[in-house]
Amino acid sequence: MRQTLKRPTAQARVKAARNKHMLWGGLGVLGLLTTLAASGMARAADHENIISSHGYNFYGELTYPADYPHFDYVNPDAPQGGEISIAAVGTFDSMNPYARQGRAHAFSVFMYESLLGDAPAGGAAPADTYGEYYCLLCERLEYPEDRSWVVFYMRPEARFSDGTPVTAHDIAFSHNLLLDQGLKSYADAVRKLIPKVEVLDDHTIKFYFADGVSRRSLIEQVGGVPAWSKKWYEETGAKLNESRLDISPGSGAYMVENVDISRRIVLKRNPDYWGNDLPFNVGRFNFDRLRLEIFGDSAAAFEAFKAGEYTFRLEGDSRKWATQYNFPKVQSGAVVQEELRNGAPPAATGIVFNLGSEVLQDRRVREAVALGYNFEWTNESLQNGLFDQRASFSQDTPVMAKGAPEGVELELLQSLGDLVPEEMLTEPARVPHTSNEETLRDRRNLRKAMSLLDEAGWEVGDDGLRRNADGDVLKLNYLFNSASSPTLTGVMENFVANVSSMGIDITFERVDPSQYTARERDRDYDLLYDQYPAFIGTGTGLSQRFGSEDAAFSLFNPAGIASPLVDALINVSLDAQTVEEEEAAMRALDRALRHEFIMIPMGYAPNHWVAYYDMYEYPDVIPPYNLGYLDFWWMNEEKAAELRASGALR
């Protein structure tokens, strides 16, 4: 039978919009209830309904119908041409981000597409919906109601940049390559969930899903595998687990023009890009060239922007944003400085505790160390008061835990019995401590920290250092990336000074980006400035981020958290069948992670801070989940010519 789905009412769209938020990185994760404007088809086969669609959402609802002309937020008439250039700080030595060895930039993945499309470097596309996925390399997909398998019907016209067709054989090869040579935590998880892939013909591929596992994230997981050329890998003998500069041809809008790994990476638009006119791509990929300039430190990068060596800057340094954008080109209007809406919850950024460190396994020590961070003073004195304090892994979303649990969430937590500490059932969700903004060293907090350390058995000796009963000094190593901004470095130096004043022998070790990446992968640190992606919907990616099974080695879990309670809540969320159940599980997960106390939460900027030479334009409304400057912005050539004529641009 054929089912025609109606466009949602205004009330339904408002409700859906209220529930939209973002999760990026790792395995794809499904979202909450979103708006509906889709057509679908079901047919009876072997006594089960087979759903056929141009896209996928777990709840069966899609904002864009099968005949959508383009995404709502793009400018379909945007001119194509010109160049946008950005900067990166640090050192890079690879164009393969899928290996543990080497350090690659996001520009190394822009060339690749998947069956279900996304934005460059895995950003949201479409950027105005959550948990919705639309066909790119595929024309449609089919799956049964129980989601025990999925079949993708691919576009025969899809081509790699070398002109060879993208086939189901390439997709199967890419899937298996990730399992055989990819990251262990990824491969171990996927093998258990996806036991078999079958190429039905050159342009049809079927994935089978394991019995007894949650169906969450599986279809978008296999639909998000990057398409690599089987022919290129077989002819070159290249491996996915090795650091290298040469890369396989991709099927995307851009291809590599030049790589000087210490200076710049340049991508150019493929003039023969097969998908240029697809509705998925209308109004997107408007620049002829994407250029990345590489600098050794943030100061050099900023001076280069002022000189016009690159043309777009996403600022992350609050002090710089507040005090250093008064140079002549800003004053003349040649450079635009503005804040743009960010509709996504902030990443869970902060000082991460390595829970594998013996001394940090004592929660009292972690609590004491955290009291050395004074957000209020730091924000006012070093960050110009521009940050908000983050408390949650789902900050300011419908699933952010607030107050004591109640309703469905409370019932869920009570059902888990002894896994849930009593205080989690009766007390408000954990929030960061407050500090005196008038002074860096909040004596009240430091006294509390001292008491916690005494209680934990670390007493102060005659030399001012804390020792345990065996005479061992309480030592901590804080690993820090030397390419970080001066403002962030200053924030951390003051934090370390406060921790040191407690009698802790803490080393603030600044290393270059290559060493930092290697030691982060080996978990060679006690403390680390890092982040977890924000979440609002469930999915198997949560297990890679927070699950016990991969905790010892997962690159996506820098704290190494391994909590039976967190595992149980992830499993409950994966089994949720309604939005209400999913929201309750996500809220409980946020509450549990905050209770486990794996990191000291830092502040976040509620908006995007951008500066660019006044030749770039963007749609009237920036979508909530992707700023899109490398995706759906465009160049105004007349403005660019004026900038060049005035000498503002080189």
pLDDT tens digits, 40-82: 334 334 446 999 999 999 988 899 999 999 999 999 999 999 9
The two structure tokens encoding residue 395: 């900050």
Measured distance CA(295)–CA(263) in Å, rounded: 7
Cross-strand bridge partners of residue 604: 388
Quickly count: other Cβ atoms within 10 Å of residue 334's Cβ: 20
pLDDT of residue 122: 67
β-strands 83-89, 289-295: how paired?
parallel
Is residue 58 a contact partner of residue 216, using CB atoms and an 8 Å limit?
A: yes
Bridge-partner residues for 599, per DSSP?
352
| E strand or H helix that includes residue 521 | helix 513-521
For residue 26, the model assigns a pLDDT of: 31
CATH architecture of the domain 2-68+91-236 equals 3-Layer(aba) Sandwich (3.40)
Selection from 121, 163, 118 nearest residue 136 by Cα:
118
Rounded CA separation 185/166 (Å): 28
Q: Taking each helix axis as running N to C, give the angle between helix 564-575 and helix 579-596, from 0 to 180 degrees, rounded to the nearest 10.
A: 170
> Strand 388-389 to strand 634-635: parallel, antiparallel, or no bridges (unpaired)?
unpaired
Question: For the chain, where do the domains classified as CATH 3.10.105.10 start and end?
Answer: 348-538+554-561+597-604
Structure tokens at 255: 């291809």
Q: Where does residue 362 rank: exposed (0-12), middle (13-18), buried (19+ CB within 10 A)?
A: middle
Judged by DSSP in three states, 181 sits in helix
Residues 6 or more apart whose CB falls under 8 angstroms from that of 638 comprise none
What pTM was computed for the model? 0.85
Question: For residue 14, what pLDDT is reported?
Answer: 29
pLDDT tens sequence across 287-312: 999 999 999 889 999 999 999 999 99
532 - beta bridge partners? 348
Rounded CA-CA distance 595/437 in Å is 25
Nearest to 57 by CA among 131, 122, 130, 135: 131
- Residue 493 sits at φ, ψ, to 5 deg, of -60, -40
Is the distance from CB of 260 to CB of 91 less than 8 angstroms? no
Distance CA 305, CA 321 (A): 13
Name the 3-class secondary structure at 18. Answer: helix
Residue 154 CA, chain-centre distance (Å), reads: 28
pLDDT at 401: 97
Measure the CA–CA gap between 62 and 50, rounded to whole angstroms.
17
Q: Which of 103, 92, 241 is nearest to 521 (CA)?
A: 103
Helix or strand (DSSP H, E) at 2: strand 2-4
Q: What is the DSSP letter of 121?
A: G
What is the H or E stretch that residue 192 is in? helix 184-193
The C-alpha atoms of residue 147 and residue 194 are separated, in whole angstroms, by 12
pLDDT of residue 34: 27
Structure tokens at 586: 């996500």
- pLDDT tens digit string along 147-203? 999 999 999 999 999 999 999 999 999 999 999 998 787 888 889 999 999 999 999
What is the domain class of 348-538+554-561+597-604 according to CATH? alpha beta
Helices 168-181 and 184-193 pack at an angle, to 10 degrees, of 120
Inter-residue contact 594 to 401 (CB < 8 Å): yes
Is residue 627 within 8 Å of residue 342, measured between CB atoms?
A: yes
Alpha-carbon distance of 624 to 345, in angstroms, equals 10
DSSP letter for each residue of 287-301: -SEEEEEEESSHHHH
Q: What is the pLDDT, as a whole number, of residue 32?
A: 26
State how beta strands 48-53 and 607-613 pair.
Answer: unpaired
- Residue 277 is which amino acid? D
Q: What is the DSSP-derived secondary structure letter of residue 553?
A: T
Residue 605's contacts (CB-CB under 8 Å, 6 or more residues apart) are: 316, 318, 342, 346, 386, 387, 388
* 8 A C-beta contact, residue 431 and residue 391: yes
Q: Which residue has the tokens 């543990």?
A: 100
What residues have CB less than 8 Å from 598, skipping those under 6 apart?
352, 353, 355, 559, 561
Distance CA 481, CA 95 (A): 21
Spell out a b/e string for 411-423, using b for 16 or more CB atoms within 10 Å of the CB, else e.
ebbeebeebbeee
Cα→Cα distances 441→319, 379, 382, 495, 600, Å: 21, 14, 14, 9, 17
> Which ranges in the chain are annotated with CATH 3.40.190.10?
2-68+91-236
Q: Kindly list the distances between the CA atom of residue 566 and the CA atoms of 221, 240, 562, in Å, as whole numbers in the listed order.
A: 22, 32, 8
DSSP 331-368: HHTSEEEEEEE--SPPPEEEEEE-TTSGGGGSHHHHHH
CA separation for the pair 145, 157 (Å, rounded): 30
Spatial distance between the Cα atoms of 361 and 353, rounded to a whole number of angstroms = 9
Integer angstrom CA distances of residue 482 from 282, 521, 524, 615: 41, 17, 16, 33
Q: Is 3 helix (H, G, I), strand (E, B) or coil?
A: strand
The pLDDT score that the predictor gives to residue 634 is: 98
Structure tokens at 648: 């503002």
Ramachandran area for residue 624 (φ above 0: left; ψ -120 to 50: alpha; else beta):
alpha
Q: How far apart, in whole angstroms, are the C-alpha atoms of residue 84 and residue 290? A: 5
Positions of the chain with pLDDT under 50: 1-47
Place of tokens 């904002």: 63
Strands 138-144 and 335-341: unpaired
CA angle 583, 586, 590 (to 5 degrees): 135
